[in-house]
Structure 1
Amino acid sequence: MKPTFAIVIAALSLSACSGLPALPTRAKASNKVVVLNTQKVATPTIRVFLESRGASAVLTADSTLGAVTNWTDASGVSVALNQGLVVETRGLGDDMMSSDVSNSLMALKGAFGDAYYERFQTTLGGELETEFRAFQCQVSDRSATTIKISSNTVPVTRIVETCSSIGFSVSNTYWQGANGTLWRSRQWISEGVGHMTIERQPR
């Protein structure tokens, strides 16, 4: 069984006792996301997996503002998604503090073809200092395929986004349905966290 995020957070706390810098307590959600979701039945969920930590968890939608939905679990980990793209995380340690994904959202719709576009991201480093990165990104692959979601086979377009900064390059992969829904994605969060895979769960 894969460890949950709660175990990961506990491990981070123990490392603080051994002399490493203690991590601050994370807020459950950004104060930008303020509209509470009081639905108790069939609440949307996503499954997330952190490759670098071998940890997975199911997160529940608890608030929304405009196109941004905040997803949380019982341990206090939260992920804010703008139409499926990560714009911030909390509770992971080296969090994504903010990300401007407006151009990436347009690129998923085919707006730039194979041309480059900008993407901006601020992350939290191991010394609790924020680091700003300006990326030049490009859609490097777009191909039709199918994926399994629960017991369902879903036709999707697999889109690979490659982003480069000074001396640094990352990629994000999206599996997009015909109506624009991101059924699955593999997105880079920060150097300390690495990639997060996100999958929508059927209600």
Structure 2
Amino acid sequence: MGQGLALTMKMRTAVAVLALAALAACGSSKYEGPPLLKVAGGLAKATVGQVTGRGAAGATKKAAPVTRADIEKYGIPILRAVIPVRSADALLTISDQKGNVITWATTDGSSFTLREGVLIQTRGLGPDLMSAQAPSAAALRTAGGTHQRIYFFLGEDDQTTRRTYDCTVTASGSEKIEIYSRAHNVSKFVETCSRPQGSITNTFWFEGTEIRKSRQLASGGLGFIDFERAVD
């Protein structure tokens, strides 16, 4: 699609990428904004090679810091995604949208689908989150609320594994966070989920009723992904 931007500020390990699968949960409404490759030119192409492990010319060059001026230049929504276990740090643009379900993508076709800012699917990252029965954003900002989460993960044997968690939400007060030199006043909520084999914790920073920042489980192989809504 040529609309996703992978600007890597630090990468130490390669990410194995599978072919992009069709996202049945999303509709056919396409975002038609200008290609963000112009923001970084060859840098974007180089970092895509580094993310996918395919190797691109200049991939070993150190990326220049990304500024707010860079990401606001084209006036389209941008989401930042950081995968700590892979030292991957990418800027994403919208590739598909239907209502409150938005798919964000990199230039290589790796994608992240979120509903109201809650991760429900990944593609092209290897051990993907195939789908998730996840709570609404409103449920995640309701202190004391309880709900169930169901994850469907893709394993190394290409078999899908289901994990079911019982979850509770705790309010952790107000904070001020900064995303690309812009301050945001947010309220932090922690979702603690457990099952007999273990527990996980997802964290959400709400600006009003919208998720501005989050740390959410993707899969056992990917671990957690940090999302920041950089440009609305």
Q: Same fold (TM over 0.5)?
A: yes
Deviations 1:110-160 (A, max 9, x none): 1xx424311111111121110111110011343111100222211100111
Structure 2 counterpart of 1:173, from 193, 203, 207: 203
- Within a 5 Å distance, the mapping from 1:1-80 to structure 2 comes to 1-3=9-11, 8-9=14-15, 12=16, 24-27=18-21, 29-33=22-26, 34-40=28-34, 41-80=74-113
Aligned to 1:122: 152
CA distance in structure 2 between the partners assigned to 1:115 and 1:174 by the alignment: 14
Aligned partners of 1:96 and 1:189 also within 8 Å: yes
Once residues 69 and 147 of structure 1 are traced to their aligned partners in structure 2, the CA distance between those partners, rounded to angstroms, is 24
Larger fraction in strand = 1
- Displaced runs of 4+ in structure 1, greater than 4 A? none
- Residue deviations 1:70-114 (CA, integer Å, cap 9, x gap): 10011111000101010100011110000111x35332241xx42
Alignment correspondent of 1:183: 212
**Preserved CA contact (<8 Å) 1:150 1:202:** no
Q: Once the 2 structures are TM-superposed, how far is the Cα of residue 3 of structure 1 from its aligned partner?
A: 2.2
Per-residue CA deviation, residues 29-86 of structure 1 (Å, 9 max, x unaligned), is 5033221111324221111000111111111112101210010011111000101010
Secondary structure of the equivalent of 2:10? coil
Aligned to 2:174: 144
CA RMSD of aligned residues (A): 1.9
Distance 1:141 1:161 in 2: 9
Cα distance in 1 for partners of 2:141, 2:91 equals 28
TM-score, normalization by structure 1:
0.84
Taking a change above 3 Å as real, the CA distance of residues 32 and 146 of structure 1, as seen in their structure-2 partners, is: same
Q: Number of aligned pairs?
A: 184
Partner of 1:17: none
Task: Return 5+ residue gaps in structure 2 as ranges.
Answer: 1-8, 35-73
